[in-house]
C-alpha cells in the first residue's frame, strides 16, 4: 500500500500554485580560468615537437623548455625556423644557460645595506616634505591588508619584480650586477617581442623604479616564502580602469 497523509491523520497539503523554486541571490564570480592555456595549443605543441626533434642532443634544461611553452607564439615560430636551418643553429638556440641564469637572478635577494650616520639622519630643523600615498600603503588598501591567496590578515608587502634587479642597483661600478640586469632582460627578449619587453623594462626603470603599487601584492609570510622559492606562480586576471587593482590567480608549479 502506498503511503498516504490521510492514513496517519495528517491534513492534506494544499496544492502548490507556483512550482517555481526560489533562487538564492549568489554574488557573481568569474568563470574558472585555465592557468596554462598554452599547453592546449595544438600549433604550439607541434612547434615544440619539431624543435625537440631538431635539438635531440641539446643541453637545454627544464627552465628553457618552460620558457618556450609560455613564450609568444611568433617568437616560438622564429626560434623553430632558425633551428631548422642547421644543426649548429639548433644547438646554439637550445643551450639553455641564459634561462637558468635568469631564474636564479630573479630569486636573488639583495643584501641589507646599513645607512651611514649622515644618510640616516636629517639636518636639524629640516622639514619633512609632504608625500603622496606610498606604493606600500596603496597596496595594503587595494588588497584590504589581507593575503591575496589565503585572506590571512598578517601580511608581507611583496615585490613582484625583485629589488635585486633595480636598474639603479645594477649600474655604476658593480659590473656583476650590471651583467645580471642586462642578461635578464636580454633573455626575456628571446621569448617575447622586443617592443613588449621594452615596455615592461621602461615601466620598472622609470622615476619610481620598482616602488609601484602594481609591482606589489600582499602575501602571508608563508605564502611569500613559497612564492619566492618558485613553488607556485601567480597570474594577473584583470586591471580595473580607475587604478592598478590586481586580482591574482594562483597555480601550483609542477
Q: How confident is the model at residue 61 (pLDDT cuts 50, 70, 90)?
A: confident
pLDDT of the residue at 38: 79
Angle in degrees, 0-180, between the axes of helices 175-191 and 62-70, rounded to the nearest 10: 50
Longest dimension (CA), the chain: 99
Residues 212 and 230 sit within 8 Å (Cβ to Cβ): no
Which residue matches cell numbers 616560438? 76
Q: Is residue 4's pLDDT more than 60? A: no
pLDDT, residue 11, reads 56
Q: Which residue has the higher pLDDT, 92 or 2?
A: 92
63 pLDDT exceeds 50? yes
Query: What are 120-131's pLDDT values in tens digits?
Result: 344 333 333 333
pLDDT at 246 over 80: no
Q: What is the pLDDT of residue 40?
A: 82
Q: What is the per-residue pLDDT across 184-237, written as a single tens digit (0 to 9) for each?
A: 999 999 999 999 999 999 988 888 888 888 899 999 999 999 988 878 888 777
pLDDT on residue 32: 67
pLDDT of residue 91: 78
For 110-149, b/e burial (b = at least 16 CB within 10 A) is: eeeeeeeeeeeeeeeeeeeeeeeeebeebbbebbeebbbb
* Distance of alpha carbon 81 from alpha carbon 12, whole angstroms: 79
Phi-psi region of 22 (alpha: psi -120 to 50; beta: other; left: phi over 0): beta
pLDDT on residue 171? 53
pLDDT score for 198: 96
The full set of domain ranges for the chain reads: 37-94, 133-167+178-235
Reported as a single tens digit per residue, the pLDDT across 65-108 is 889 999 999 999 999 999 898 888 887 777 767 888 888 888 77
* Residue 205, pLDDT score: 85
Question: What is the pLDDT of the chain when averaged over all its residues?
Answer: 75
CA–chain centroid gap for 58, Å, is: 28
The backbone torsions φ and ψ at residue 180, rounded to the nearest 5 degrees and listed phi first, read -60, -40
- Is the predicted pLDDT of residue 147 greater than 60, yes or no? yes
Per-residue burial over 13-42, b if 16 or more Cβ lie within 10 Å, else e, is eeeeeeeeeeeeeeeeeeeeeeeeebeeee
Amino acid at each position: 500500500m502506498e503511503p498516504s497523509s490521510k492514513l496517519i491523520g495528517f491534513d492534506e497539503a494544499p496544492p502548490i500554485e507556483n512550482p517555481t523554486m526560489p533562487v538564492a541571490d549568489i554574488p557573481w564570480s568569474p568563470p574558472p580560468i585555465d592557468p596554462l592555456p598554452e599547453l592546449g595549443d595544438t600549433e604550439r605543441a607541434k612547434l615544440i615537437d619539431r624543435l625537440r626533434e631538431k635539438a635531440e642532443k641539446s643541453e637545454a634544461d627544464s627552465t628553457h623548455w618552460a620558457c618556450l611553452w609560455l613564450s609568444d607564439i611568433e617568437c616560438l615560430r622564429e626560434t623553430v625556423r632558425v633551428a631548422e636551418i642547421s644543426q649548429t643553429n639548433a644547438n646554439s638556440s637550445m643551450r639553455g644557460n641564459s634561462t637558468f641564469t635568469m631564474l636564479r637572478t630573479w630569486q636573488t635577494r639583495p643584501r641589507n645595506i646599513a645607512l651611514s650616520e649622515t644618510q640616516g639622519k636629517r639636518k636639524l630643523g629640516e622639514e619633512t616634505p609632504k608625500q603622496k600615498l606610498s606604493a606600500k600603503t596603496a597596496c595594503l588598501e587595494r588588497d584590504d591588508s589581507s593575503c591575496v591567496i589565503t585572506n590571512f590578515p598578517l601580511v608581507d608587502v611583496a615585490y613582484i619584480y625583485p629589488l635585486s634587479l633595480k636598474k639603479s642597483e645594477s649600474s655604476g661600478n658593480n659590473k656583476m650586477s650590471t651583467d645580471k640586469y642586462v642578461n635578464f632582460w636580454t633573455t626575456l627578449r628571446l621569448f617575447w617581442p622586443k617592443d613588449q619587453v621594452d615596455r615592461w623594462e621602461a615601466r620598472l626603470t622609470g622615476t619610481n623604479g620598482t616602488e609601484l603599487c602594481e609591482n606589489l601584492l600582499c602575501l602571508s609570510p608563508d605564502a611569500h616564502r613559497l612564492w619566492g622559492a618558485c613553488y607556485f606562480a601567480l597570474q594577473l586576471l584583470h586591471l580595473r580602469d580607475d587604478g592598478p587593482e590586481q586580482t591574482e590567480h594562483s597555480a601550483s608549479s609542477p
